[in-house]
């Protein structure tokens, strides 16, 4: 029987083995990372052409009993799963003696591999941009303009070349971080191509489904010659962009979440706030009890009133031009002036110090834009709490 079922906190392997011919599986909680989201299962998914990026809602192109056959054929040692599903008031639940066996099989199977991160220099010897770079910047500025820029002869400047070396050095650190970054999303760390170019973009950007662009020239303009902190800075910025790819992957329908000016702002605060969280340098580090560092305290004092004013106004905004004016600075421009994304990142930082990062990030990511106002309510200065509560209670 083809159908659609809600399944709580199960891993795909179990889902696949338990339900025959379910066309779409929705998990009300992130699917069990430890069991399913090893690199092993990613390879299997790739073989089967299942969209590995979408974990909470999987569109399965085939009857599920075929998955079992494939698992078995990839490794003759695959255990007999013996899994059954039972339905109770909560939905479908797993009743399985084979759970641990599957997990251990996934861990020891020989087809595990690490995510592959590669770096591609997108400037040729004559200073022209490669097709990959053109493709990347075209997302923001359109194909026609991108192609014009691509033909310009702009050889790498010495500063840009120095940043390229920093990028090369940062790649292994970044790749190592990928698993940690993907975990709270409940996602498989995806392969990434980092495109290094030198024109027509901000310093860093991401484009679906697996590309990060680094504009070496813009790095030089924004941060000068690389110094000792260069590799750390590059790793943080790569992480920020990688988190965007993960967010896109988890929420392929994010446009639906951005249906009003207020919701669009809250989405941006979530999307860029999670990104900024991973690009925070040490100076923002809170105390062990979550209390703010001096720079964090000063910054929040400055940004909190802006944040509340703007969100209130966005809740009433009735034209696109009003909205775009009100959004100015929400997550773009100078880092310590981002009134929307930076407070979210800083509050998360403090709360993570108090209650642990993994659970906080996972629940924030699961709630996406709806996590923003409750987080603000927990952390914003008391004088603004009433106004945040009013925003929260609007709908």
- Which residue number, 38 or 197, has a Cβ lying nearer to Zn ion? 197
| CB 233 within 8 Å of CB 204 | no
Nearest distance from residue 146's CB to Zn ion, in Å?
Answer: 20
7 three-state secondary structure = strand
Residue nearest to Zn ion (CB): 275
- Which residue number, 220 or 275, has a Cβ lying nearer to Zn ion? 275
307, containing H or E segment = helix 294-316
**What tokens does 45 get?**
């998914």
Distance CA 191, CA 286 (A): 32
Nearest distance from residue 344's CB to Zn ion, in Å?
Answer: 12
Cis omega (within 30 of 0) for bond into 209: yes
Nearest distance from residue 212's CB to Zn ion, in Å?
Answer: 11
**What tokens does 27 get?**
């998990």
DSSP at 253: T
Nearest distance from residue 240's CB to Zn ion, in Å?
Answer: 6
Angle in degrees, 0-180, between the axes of helices 261-279 and 341-355, rounded to the nearest 10: 60
**What tokens does 133 get?**
């770079």
CA dihedral 188, 189, 193, 196 (to 10 degrees): 140
- Which residue number, 237 or 380, has a Cβ lying nearer to Zn ion? 237
- Which residue number, 38 or 275, has a Cβ lying nearer to Zn ion? 275
Distance CA 5, CA 126 (A): 56
| CB 97 within 8 Å of CB 145 | no
Q: Of 83, 21, 73, 31, nearest to 54 (Cα)?
A: 31
- Which residue number, 189 or 275, has a Cβ lying nearer to Zn ion? 275
- Which residue number, 271 or 292, has a Cβ lying nearer to Zn ion? 271
Question: Which spans of this chain sit near Zn ion (rule: CB under 5 A)?
Answer: 272, 275
- Which residue number, 139 or 322, has a Cβ lying nearer to Zn ion? 139
Nearest distance from residue 186's CB to Zn ion, in Å?
Answer: 21
């Amino acid at each position: 029987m083809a159908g659609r079922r809600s399944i709580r906190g199960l891993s795909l392997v179990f889902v696949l083995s338990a339900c025959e011919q379910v066309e779409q599986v929705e998990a009300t909680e992130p699917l069990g990372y430890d069991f399913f989201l090893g690199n092993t299962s990613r390879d299997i998914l790739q073989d089967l052409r299942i969209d590995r990026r979408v974990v909470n809602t999987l569109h399965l192109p085939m009857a599920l009993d075929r998955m079992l056959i494939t698992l078995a054929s990839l490794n003759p040692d695959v255990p007999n799963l013996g899994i059954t599903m039972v339905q109770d008031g909560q939905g479908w639940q797993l009743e399985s003696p084979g759970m641990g066996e599957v997990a251990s099989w996934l861990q020891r199977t020989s087809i595990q591999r690490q995510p592959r991160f590669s770096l591609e220099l997108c400037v040729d010897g004559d200073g022209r941009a490669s097709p990959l770079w053109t493709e990347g910047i075209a997302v923001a500025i359109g194909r026609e303009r991108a192609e014009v820029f691509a033909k310009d002869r702009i050889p790498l400047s010495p500063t840009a070349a120095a940043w390229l070396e920093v990028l090369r050095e940062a790649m292994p650190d970044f790749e190592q971080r990928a698993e940690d970054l993907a975990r709270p999303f409940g996602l498989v760390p995806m392969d990434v191509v980092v495109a290094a170019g030198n024109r027509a973009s901000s310093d860093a950007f991401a484009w679906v489904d697996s590309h990060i662009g680094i504009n070496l020239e813009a790095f030089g303009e924004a941060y000068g010659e690389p110094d000792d902190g260069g590799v750390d800075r590059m790793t943080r910025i790569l992480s920020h962009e990688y988190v965007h790819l993960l967010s896109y992957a988890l929420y392929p329908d994010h446009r639906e979440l951005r249906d009003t000016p207020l919701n669009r702002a809250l989405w941006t605060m979530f999307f860029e706030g999670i990104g900024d969280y991973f690009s925070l340098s040490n100076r923002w580090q809170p105390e062990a009890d979550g209390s703010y560092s001096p720079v964090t305290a000063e910054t929040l004092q400055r940004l909190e009133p802006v944040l509340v004013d703007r969100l209130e106004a966005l809740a009433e905004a009735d034209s696109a031009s009003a909205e775009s004016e009100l959004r100015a600075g929400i997550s773009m421009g100078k880092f310590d002036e981002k009134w929307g994304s930076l407070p979210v990142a800083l509050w998360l930082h403090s709360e993570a110090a108090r209650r642990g990062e993994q659970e906080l990030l996972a629940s924030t990511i699961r709630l996406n834009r709806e996590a923003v106002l409750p987080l603000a309510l927990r952390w914003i200065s008391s004088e603004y709490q009433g106004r945040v509560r009013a925003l929260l209670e609007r709908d």
